[in-house]
Amino acid sequence: MTIEGFVAPGWEGVRDAFAENLSVTEEVGAGTAVYHRGEKVIDLTGGWFDEAQSRPYDADVLQLVFSTTKGITAIAVGMCVQRGLLAYDQPVSRYWPEFAAHDKGAATVAQLLSHQCGLFSVQGELTMDDALDWDTITSRLADTAPEWPIGSTHGYHAVTFGFLAGELVRRVDPHHRNIGRFVQDEIAGPLGVEFYIGLPEHLEPRVSPLIGGMTTQSDDPNVQAMIDMFMGPESNAGRALSLNGALAGEGLFNTRAVHAAEIPAANGITNAASLARIYAATLGPIDGVQLLDEATRDVARTTVTPVGEADACLVVGTTFGMGFMTSGMFSPFAGPGSYGHPGAGGSVGFAHPEHHLAVGYVMNRMAANLASDVRAQRITDAAVAAAVTAG
């Protein structure tokens, strides 16, 4: 497979890791980018746009990145906090009065962003049209009772996180912009990158189709029983990941309807170069644009979920700050201090201030995981090694 792009001297190990992914895994097409001390040191693409190998996977390709979107949404919320429009320690209902229904009035922004509000889905049935309609979902969430006492535990709000956080942004933004517009105006535009939450139709031909997905069926009845227990339609994880089944259709995330909607926890469309540049701009100015200052960033990247607490949806331990996943067993990134978010199937975007490092990785061949993808970690480990050497 052909690899194209840029490698700074001293960062050849990252290119080697990327090439290894393409040669020894089931990778079809992918991209990766790294910034170090505010400078781009890696920007690579390789492989194929689709299984038919109709064209190369090159710098023009866009990719849906599932929950990697959450990290960009967390940055948008952090920017609102930085501007004094929001405060992490204030009740959500201060900004969104309807949210107070069903005894949620005291729930804080911090609890919402760290998946502690028990709103990982809505009660009752949803159609796909419902799930793609912003006002329907946000009003349903405001009128949903928590699945557990707020603050008593945390559980991954796989899809609802974006609607909850995005509605906060819309409520406090002086221009009342939806999250897709806010990201374009305040993040993507100033940095000269591409990150879409709600893809314009004319860009659709550039989107590489996702290949494969999470394993939900097995011929082994014992394995199927385990899958049903942890990921079945009635489980917390199954409900959270599919929004009560409304987003469970095979190939749904390759459709124009989903690409056009705003699902700011799950349907961001971008590329690796954009992800790395966005995260680099949370570490310091990139061509004069800095998204988060150090004080806001350090609050946002601090783990607030209890150490060792099992995720009420994913069962394993997960670690969250203010919308970011933080470094832990589920999301190691570059080690303690890292913040960002992985996406189902393998994509990731994150930063590590102590290593002055920002990393983006995207791909079209999905692995059967939600985080800790071996391809992304291979690239991350090589980037950390190069950063340590570079100093």
Average pLDDT over residues 248-271: 96
Q: Per-residue pLDDT tens for 296-325?
A: 999 999 999 998 999 999 999 999 999 999
Report the SS3 class of residue 298.
helix
Give me the residue label for tokens 């194929």.
48
Domain boundaries, the chain: 3-72+183-390
pLDDT at site 195: 99
Please give the Cα distance from 138 to 313 (Å, whole number): 21
Please give the Cα distance from 142 to 158 (Å, whole number): 17
- Across the chain, how many H-helices and E-strands are there? 15, 10
CA torsion through residues 141, 253, 193, 180, sign: negative
Residue 25 has pLDDT above 80, yes or no: no
CATH topology of domain 3-72+183-390: Beta-lactamase (3.40.710)
Q: Per-residue pLDDT tens for 329-349?
A: 999 999 999 999 999 999 999
Average pLDDT over residues 363-372: 88
Report the SS3 class of residue 111.
helix
Q: Per-residue pLDDT tens for 208-256?
A: 999 997 666 666 666 556 666 667 788 999 999 999 999 988 899 999 9
Per the structure block, which two tokens stand in for 158?
A: 């796989």
- Residue 12 φ/ψ, nearest 5 degrees: -60, -25
**39-43, 76-80, 122-126: the lowest-pLDDT one:** 122-126
Please give the Cα distance from 107 to 119 (Å, whole number): 11
- Cβ-count burial 113-124 (b if 16+ within 10 Å, e if not): bbbbbbbbbbee
Please give the Cα distance from 287 to 271 (Å, whole number): 19
Q: How far is CA 202 from CA 74, 199, 205, 252, 256, in A?
A: 27, 8, 7, 19, 11
Q: Please state the pTM of the whole predicted model.
A: 0.96
Residue 40 has pLDDT above 90, yes or no: yes
Strands 3-7 and 357-363, by their bridges, are unpaired
Share of the chain above pLDDT 70, in %: 95
Residues whose CB falls within 8 Å of the CB of residue 102, separated by 6 or more in sequence, listed in order: 143, 144, 145, 146
